[in-house]
Structure 1
Amino acid sequence: MPLARDRTVMFADLRGSTGLYGSLGNTQAAEVVTRTVGLLSQVVAKHEGAVVKTLGDGLMAVFAKPWRAVNAAYEMQESLRRIVTGSPSGATALCLYITAAHGEIVEVDGDCFGDAVNVAARLLDHAGDNEVLITESVYERLRADDRRRFKSLEKLHLRGRVEPCRVYRLELGRDDAAPSTLFTDFADPPVSEGIRLALDETPGTVFGSHSMPVLIGRSPECAFCVDNSRVSRSHARIEWHSGHFHLTDQSSNGTFVRFTGNPETVVLRRATCTLHGSGLIGLGGAPADPRSALLHFEIIASQ
């Protein structure tokens, strides 16, 4: 007989395993992936959750208490960092995407169904590398101390839903962690002290490391305001730590980076890359898309 109850639904998706099989070989890669998913399952049980099913390189779990799901998500990310550190070099490509939503679910033959399941699953499309995203339904049920660990993002339009969804991101010690970048041939860019941002052909504005973080978006409250319909109110964020500038997308339409002298475009969707040299930043579309807002950036190195 179907059983209905309120639960927090979590999806944890391990990505990067395809490249892992190519770099490590089937046997070693399978061992790393299996061990990782097994550890994630142990973390769920430790925080009084229940694994509903494993999904290839990930899992679906439910928790009676939202705060237990949040603590489990945090420990999962920390566990993955330890696994990557202690595994063969190819495992560094592994990233963990975690999402959670709260609501009534129906349990049938060991599986779970309901709106919270659908929302948590579709929210994975918007998660960036090693991010934990939760819906407002989870956030509202957290204790004050737990809420302070989250940052509110722009409302997202989830696949198959009419109304946008308010989403929050767990801050995982971002000042200490090395942000991800899609370019590996610039392993040691020079220490940076300033960045110049210019919209179209304007002279631009220089932001020093002391003035970080810099918010870019449509809102007048942003340090660098861009009036364009494809730009979110709080579209992107530039931070300075460990001697470098890092650009993080927190928008609905994405942020796109093309470095001078490199034809490839870095696509950021809730992800981060290290800025170096100079180039173009497309807000809401690729730099070649005339509908997107186009920023010119230049890193000003210390003398």
Structure 2
Amino acid sequence: MMASNEQNSQDHAETAVGDLSSLVSVLDDQSASRQRVAATVLFADICGSTHLFEKYGDFQARQIESHILDLLSAKTMQFDGTVIKTIGDEIMSRFPDAEHAVNAACRMQETVKSDPALSELIISIKIGLHHGRVLVEQDDLFGDAVNLAARMVSQAKADQIITTRETIDFLPEELQRTTRNLGQAWVRGKQDEMEIFEVLWQEEGSGLTQMVNTRQQEEVRSLLFARLFLEYRGEKIEIEPSAQAFSLGRGNRNSLVVDQEMVSRSHADIQFRQGKFILIDHSTNGTYLLLENGSRFLVRREEFTLHDRGCICLGHAVADDAADVIRYQCVHA
């Protein structure tokens, strides 16, 4: 009996060693398939693709999208890039360095504008890119550089190429001269402002908007020093520009708790974007506003830019005698 127990123990030990060896082998294989490298990540997004489907129908709109994505893929490969994936109307690419990526981005914009098949469709794309360390895993990319590139394309408007100061620093001087500084901007997921740049891909005289003068730049910069003051039930709150949203609602975790039955748990947010405080409603009953000039608005599942001063009520219309009125005032330095 004792011999049998010893044999069983030995069998279990051998099995455990075998399982451990298998686990180590799997981890080694996974490590071999992962690597951290320096790369430039680029996102290119087709602007107004929803309108294409509304105007041309699903089949033709999808053909147009596919044609554009093919053009973008071709330019990626022309400049030693690799197409990582396409996501709906967006393409994600990886380049060995910032110079190749910026040149590819410029040619992408030019190609879409000059393609005969697209000439009557008034198609625009927007591009964002960032250079940094990425984790390569199973033909996909992960890491902060990927997230920042995605944030850059969200900052871009139609026909723009937007990138970061870190990426500009990797460019040769000649290419750096084709960029312009757009100043500091709040980027979602980052605690501090980031310095962002536009790559000027159009030739001089082709309709490119001229750079604003020094006075205009100072006016734009002053917007970044905006403040929003709220007053609720005698409490005064100052909101500074931040990537962090200021939340309002019935739930205890909100920045401002309004404990009323018509108020949703996560009723609304106030975000600071491009020099403005934006109220974003997520609620069932909506958010009501009364402006200083007497105008009244109902915001339900949409956004509203706060200006000057006024009153906010969550879930019901603004009334002078209501105890849960939130008074606000926007101030710019």
TM-score by length of 1: 0.61
- Deviation (angstroms), 1:125: 2.1
CA–CA distance in structure 1, aligned partners of residues 71 and 148 of structure 2: 25
Which secondary structure does the structure 2 equivalent of 1:168 belong to? strand
SS in 2 for 1:116: helix
- Tell me if structure 2 keeps the 8 A contact 1:154–1:252: no
Is the CA contact 1:228–1:293 (under 8 Å) kept in the aligned structure 2?
A: no
Question: Does residue 230 of structure 1 match 2:252?
Answer: no
- Match among 130, 155, 163 for residue 184 of structure 2: 155
C-alpha distance in structure 1 between counterparts of 2:202 and 2:208, whole Å: 11
Give the aligned length.
211
**1:52–1:60 Cα contact (<8 Å) kept:** yes
Read off the aligned partner of 2:275 and give its amino acid letter. Answer: N
Change (3 A) 1:228 1:131: closer
**Deviation for aligned residue 1:131:** 0.6
CA distance 1:24–1:228, shift in 2 (3 Å):
closer
Are 2:282 and 1:253 equivalent residues in the alignment?
no
**Structure 2 CA distance for aligned equivalents of residues 228 and 53 of structure 1:** 36
Separation in 2, partners of 1:102, 1:288: 40
Kept in 2, the 8 Å contact 1:216–1:226? The answer is no
Q: Deviations over 1:246-272 (max 9, x none)?
A: xxxxx82269xxxxxxxxxxxxxxxxx
Letter in 2 for 1:253: G
Tell me whether 1:166 sits opposite 2:180 in the alignment.
Answer: no
CA distance in 1, matches of 2:131, 2:149: 8
Distance 1:34 1:225, change over 3 A: closer
Deviation at 1:23, TM superposition (A): 1.3
What code does the residue aligned with 1:78 have? E
Query: Which is greater in Rg?
Result: 2
CA distance in 2, matches of 1:130, 1:156: 19
Is the Cα contact below 8 Å between 2:184 and 2:195 reproduced in 1? yes
Distance 1:46 1:97, change over 3 A: same
Instruction: Please point out which of 106, 110, 117 is paired with 1:78.
Output: 110
Q: Is the 8 A contact 2:130 2:146 kept in 1?
A: yes
Q: Which whole-Å deviations, capped at 9, do the CAs of 1:64-116 have from their partners, x for residues lacking one?
A: 12100000000000011123x64374x21x32111111111111111101110
Higher relative CO (Cα under 8 Å, sequence separation at least 6) belongs to: 1
Distance in 2 between the 1:176 and 1:63 partners? 30
Instruction: Report if aligned partners of 2:180, 2:197 keep a CA contact under 8 Å in 1.
Output: yes
Residues 203-259 of structure 1, C-alpha deviations (whole Å, 9 max, x = no match): xxxxxxxxx857524x3xx6x99788339xxxxxxxxxxxxxxxxxxx82269xxxx
| Corresponding position of 2:137 | 108
- Cα distance, 1:289 vs structure 2: 6.4
Give the structure 1 partner of residue 150 of structure 2. 121
- Per the normalisation by structure 2, the TM-score is 0.56
Q: Which residue in 2 is equivalent to 1:216?
A: 216
Residues 17, 228 of structure 1: alpha-carbon distance in 2 compared, 3 angstrom cutoff: closer
Q: Provide the rounded CA distance (Å) in 2 between the counterparts of 1:131 and 1:4.
A: 29
Give the residue type in structure 2 aligned to 1:103.
Answer: G
SS at match of 2:205: coil
Q: Deviation digits for residues 118-142 of structure 1, max 9, x if unmatched? A: 1111222211111101111110010
More helix by share: 2
